[in-house]
């Protein structure tokens, strides 16, 4: 970054005094008062009108909860919500600007405000488009974490450029680092650039998953893994480019890394271990988003896979757990969706000894064939297991293509088997035990003689 450095930090004080002198001018103060009052009044008016609209149309005003029956009405409501304030403000300030110019008064700040409001209107229209096309929850996440900070950063920089010399302020040097001057511009670009680049890479990952999963019939887990790899590659590339832009040489970066290595080695051992484990998991492909696994005897689904930790959703209670990546290398983990998502399950049932075993097997297969969740191929099979104490035990084995529906399908099969057995007069016996009582007491055949008194 080519810099004509300003080494005296007192430059900020001088610029502040100049700005105060400008703000004390009556022509400037009148404009600022008019702008402030207009924005406050229009904001309150737009909130009041939207409140009336919500009471009148409660269904379509909840546009973040998409309803197919009133989709276009909700899009219109979103447009109304996002454009009420900026449109009213633009109209009022445009009229005030016209009156100032008509009276030959200075109206430079009014004109700048009009330009900013136009940008704000297009930004709000962009948000309406996002909410209309994509998942509202995902859009809301990046609305407040990416688009809103990016927009207000642009507005703040634009206002600074209006008030003072933007380029000069950013060339003010604060301190020296490895014989290089660190300016305000370097600090802003490093902090802001890293934040927006990392958040933008996360947004790009979500967009790629959405587009490829919708347009291409492919393995969604593979798409998510590739997108995750691309995300971290772009993050690393962005960090390198940003440091290069602000003038941090590879030698200086290596020195910083070397200085931190001792602290990392002792204090961040677990973090580094999880990071390395995450890289192995990522490139090996042994664990992917949406995989169904069993860890600590709990069936869970991988929801979010990261370099440091993996977020899984526990199936039985819908809770989420954040598991450090090294856990997958130190503990035994069962995956139900490693090479494919097929799972093999069985139901065991007993039938009375009076039944015909061939008939029972036939009934079990008919029940399996009538269940839409059981795969036709590989075929379900049924066979007699053993002669039990009170029943002949049978087993029905079947295949599913979704591990998450195992309990639901098993429950449905048990109910259907009970109905089919009742229909075909096949009895499911209770456990039976025969109790034999042996009287070991024998009666003495001799008479008891009376004892003389």
pLDDT in tens, 136-166: 778 888 888 899 999 999 888 888 887 777 6
pLDDT at 176: 67
Of the candidate ranges 186-190, 237-241, 242-246, 358-362, the one whose mean pLDDT is the lowest? 242-246
pLDDT at 250: 60
Over residues 347-370, the mean pLDDT reads 91
CA distance 53 to 50: 5
pLDDT at 77: 83
Domains and CATH numbers, the chain: 11-171 (no CATH), 268-335 (2.30.30.60), 343-423 (3.30.70.100)
CA distance 386 to 398: 19
State the chain's mean pLDDT as an integer.
80
pLDDT in tens, 95-127: 999 998 888 888 888 999 999 999 999 999 998
The pTM score is 0.61
């Amino acid at each position: 970054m080519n810099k004509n450095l300003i080494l005296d930090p007192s430059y900020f004080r001088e610029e502040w005094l100049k700005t105060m002198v400008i703000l004390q001018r009556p022509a400037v103060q009148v404009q600022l008062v008019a702008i402030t009052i207009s924005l406050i009044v229009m904001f309150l008016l737009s909130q009041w009108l939207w409140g009336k609209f919500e009471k009148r149309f409660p269904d379509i005003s909840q546009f973040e909860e998409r309803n197919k029956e009133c989709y276009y009405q909700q899009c219109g409501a979103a447009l109304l919500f996002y454009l009420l304030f900026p449109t009213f403000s633009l109209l009022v300030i445009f009229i005030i600007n016209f009156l100032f110019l008509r009276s030959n008064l200075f109206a430079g700040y009014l004109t700048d405000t009009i330009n900013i409001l136009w940008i704000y209107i297009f930004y709000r229209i962009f948000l309406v488009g996002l909410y209309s096309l994509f998942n509202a929850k995902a859009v809301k996440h990046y609305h407040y974490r990416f688009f809103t900070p990016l927009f207000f950063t642009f507005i703040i920089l634009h206002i600074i450029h209006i008030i003072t010399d933007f380029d000069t302020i950013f060339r003010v040097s604060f301190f020296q680092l490895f014989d290089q001057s660190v300016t305000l511009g370097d600090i802003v670009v490093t902090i802001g650039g890293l934040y927006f680049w990392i958040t933008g890479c996360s947004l790009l990952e979500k967009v790629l998953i959405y587009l490829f999963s919708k347009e291409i019939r492919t393995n969604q887990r593979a798409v998510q893994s590739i997108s995750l790899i691309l995300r971290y590659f772009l993050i690393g590339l962005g960090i390198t480019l940003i440091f290069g832009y602000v003038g941090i040489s590879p030698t200086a970066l290596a020195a910083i890394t070397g200085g931190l290595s001792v602290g990392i080695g002792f204090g961040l051992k677990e973090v580094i271990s999880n990071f390395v484990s995450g890289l192995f998991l990522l490139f090996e492909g042994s664990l992917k988003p949406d995989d169904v696994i069993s860890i600590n005897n709990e069936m869970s689904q991988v929801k979010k896979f990261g370099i440091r930790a993996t977020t899984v959703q526990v199936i039985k209670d819908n809770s989420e757990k954040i598991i450090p990546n090294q856990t997958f290398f130190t503990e035994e983990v069962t995956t139900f969706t490693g090479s494919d998502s097929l799972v093999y399950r069985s139901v065991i049932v007993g039938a009375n000894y009076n039944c015909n075993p061939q008939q029972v097997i036939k009934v079990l297969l008919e029940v399996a064939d009538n269940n839409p969740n059981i795969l036709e191929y590989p075929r379900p099979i049924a066979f007699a297991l053993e002669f039990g104490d009170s029943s002949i035990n049978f087993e029905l084995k079947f295949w599913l293509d979704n591990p998450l529906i195992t309990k639901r399908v098993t429950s449905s099969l048990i109910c259907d088997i009970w109905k089919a057995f009742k229909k075909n007069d096949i009895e499911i016996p209770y456990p039976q035990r025969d109790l034999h009582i042996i009287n070991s007491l024998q009666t003495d055949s001799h008479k008891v003689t009376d004892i003389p008194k």
